Structure 1
Amino acid sequence: MSGWEAALDDEEAGAVMRAVTRQLKLWREAAGLTQAEFGAAIGYGEELVSSVERGRRIPRPEYLDAADEVLGAGGKIAAMKGDVAEARYPKKVRDLKKLEAEAVELGAYNNSVIHGLLQIEEYARAIFNARRPGFTEDEVEQQVAARLARQEILDLMTGRRAFSFVQCESTLRRPIGGRMVLRRQLERLLEVAELRNVDLQVLPLDREENSGTDGSFRLLRLKDGATVAFSEAPLSSRVMTDPKETTILDMRYGVLRAQALSPQDSLAFIEKVLGETRT
């Protein structure tokens, strides 16, 4: 159960977990099983069962599946896996995921790393492993799982959202995770760029003008027409809803897209950089 400790100071996640653990306890008691007997039946120790029912551990999907089968819940316990998985992610990530889910259009500029929605697992893990002060292994796994979960919105089947990404050339050449990881990451970019609802552009380093030197940011246009911006900076990343701020970043993003290569030329550029990693 490593990596599934509950965040006790997270009120939203705590409410979800209290509801889940209450149901688990009620089902166990209705079956007439002690915590020790229940743990033995599903293949876990009594201490872990106690920790789950007290809300100190988040039950993994396999725990809920086993509980559902042993307690004869007919899928009612297993159905909680989605809510439990969401509760595992940090609040900041959940909030961003909700905003992205509400957006009909998303635009993002990145000048340090590949955008999170485009990252492969190994690349994301290398980024989190490089943070200082460092994350624990459990925290790294939590962050990676949360980042990969956000990528569901790229699937055409989940909605008709439009995505555009502008990546500085430096992000295509920085070998985060090593040469092989970078190669697979570039291959992933080429795959995503083929999606009909995605425009991917590269801003070459030899451009005399770059309007994004202040740092990475993203823009989300919501269903109600409002625009939300997310500015990323060390220790001070924040969400902006004030039209005075979002309008500035919206204009800046438009300029960046004009300064960057076209989507078609960007694909050729990424293929060129990918070829260089193979020599």
Structure 2
Amino acid sequence: MTEESERRPETPAEENGSAGVFAVLGKQLKLTRERAGLNQREFGQLVGYGPDQISAMERGVRTPRPEFLRRADEILGANGMFIAVIPEVEEAMTRARTRHPEWYRGYAALEAQAVSLHDYSTMGVLGLLQTEDYARAVFTQRHPPLDEETIEKRVADRLSRQQIFEQWPPPEFSFVIEQAVLERPIGGLKVHKDQLRQLLRIGRRRNVQLQVMPTGRHEHPCLDNGFTLLIPKGKEQVAYMESQEYPKLISDREEVRVLAARYGIIRAQALNPHESLDLIEKMLDGR
């Protein structure tokens, strides 16, 4: 990977100058929250966001949605301060874009347009589902090592992709995760538990079906790499997979059909969503 292909904005809008809007707004949000005597977790619970999402907004690497700003204004007693900036935020959002490494940009553009996305994960938690600390641990542990600036840029890009969960109308999501992935404590115990809580939060969304493939299954329809199936708005379904950062974007109808059929079998053999969330809760409780 060349230096030029790796270099990209730390925030979703740095390249076009609108990053300043998000940075200033993030500082105002943090100051107002602290004056209200709330930590990030407490505030997140009140507005329906996780602490990592609040942290990302306060640092300017995640765009606050208008509905979030209205709720925050009410909870923090901001007297209309956050509501007043909604027009500027909406304008900045129309200009904001996240750059990714050259090899990833084609898929990233399609993912941002997805009306449905289905993923099977075998080695780690999918980037769309990761907490900030989990993502940072993944990139920090990469070999050969990445420099600190690159790590932070990659974390910021990964968090910015998660805004797809806040789109309206919401895309349809399904995720199947191997149980072994959930048992691997990447980043340590605290990071691991926070990641499990994140999966519970996302898995309880009405437009999300999250399933776990138990390790004890005697039969398995896919012992190869994981893969993602998605349908971009107005386009046909495509598939994406990568191995050791070698990406493959698949648009051939027959290849996509085979993967879609395989994914259907994977879902049928996995725990159902209710059983899966129950298993994650038990893992979180240490039972």
TM-score, normalising length: structure 1 = 0.69
Q: Which residue in 2 is equivalent to 1:153?
A: 164
Q: Distance in 1 between matches of 2:147 and 2:6?
A: 19
Q: Distance in 1 between matches of 2:260 and 2:253?
A: 10
Q: Which amino acid aligns with 1:251?
A: A
Q: Distance in 1 between matches of 2:6 and 2:255?
A: 29
Judged with a 3 Å threshold, the aligned counterparts in structure 2 of structure 1 residues 83 and 90 are, in CA distance, closer, same or farther, namely farther
> % of aligned pairs identical?
39
| 1:91 Cα deviation after fit | 3.7
Q: Secondary structure at the match of 1:170?
A: helix
Q: Which residue in 2 is equivalent to 1:140?
A: 151
| 1:248 Cα deviation after fit | 1.1
Q: Which residue in 2 is equivalent to 1:97?
A: 108
Moved more, 87-96 or 129-138: 87-96
1:110 touches 1:216 (CA, 8 Å); kept in 2? yes
Q: Which residue in 2 is equivalent to 1:69?
A: none
Q: Among residues 139, 146, 153, which one is paired with 1:128 in the alignment?
A: 139
Q: Pairwise mapping of residues 202-221 of structure 1 onto structure 2 (< 5 A)? A: 202-221=212-231
Q: Which residue in 1 is equivalent to 2:173?
A: 163
Q: Which residue in 2 is equivalent to 1:248?
A: 258
Q: Render the CA deviation track for 1:218-268: whole Å, top value 9, x for unaligned.
A: 000233351110012114221110112111111110010001000011011
Q: Which amino acid aligns with 1:106?
A: L
Q: Which amino acid aligns with 1:168?
A: E
| 1:199 Cα deviation after fit | 0.2
2:103 touches 2:247 (CA, 8 Å); kept in 1? no
Q: CA RMSD in A?
A: 3.2
Q: Which residue in 1 is equivalent to 2:274?
A: 264
Q: Distance in 2 between matches of 1:273 and 1:11?
A: 38
Q: Highest Rg: 1 or 2?
A: 1
Q: Which amino acid aligns with 1:254?
A: G
Q: Secondary structure at the match of 1:246?
A: helix
2:114 touches 2:231 (CA, 8 Å); kept in 1? yes
Q: Which amino acid aligns with 2:238?
A: V
Judged with a 3 Å threshold, the aligned counterparts in structure 2 of structure 1 residues 225 and 79 are, in CA distance, closer, same or farther, namely closer
Is 2:126 aligned against 1:106?
A: no
Q: Render the CA deviation track for 1:179-215: whole Å, top value 9, x for unaligned.
A: 1100000011011011000000000000111223101
How many residues in Structure 1 have an aligned counterpart in Structure 2? Answer: 216
Q: Distance in 2 between matches of 1:274 and 1:9?
A: 39
| 1:108 Cα deviation after fit | 0.2
TM-score, normalising length: structure 2 = 0.67
Listed as ranges, the gaps of 5+ residues in structure 2 are 18-58, 62-87
Q: Pairwise mapping of residues 9-88 of structure 1 onto structure 2 (< 5 A)? A: 86=97, 88=99
Listed as ranges, the gaps of 5+ residues in structure 1 are 1-6, 22-59, 63-76
| 1:121 Cα deviation after fit | 0.3
Q: Secondary structure at the match of 1:86?
A: coil
Q: Secondary structure at the match of 2:243?
A: coil
1:153 touches 1:159 (CA, 8 Å); kept in 2? no
Q: Which amino acid aligns with 1:271?
A: E
Q: Render the CA deviation track for 1:142-163: whole Å, top value 9, x for unaligned.
A: 11111111100112x4333100
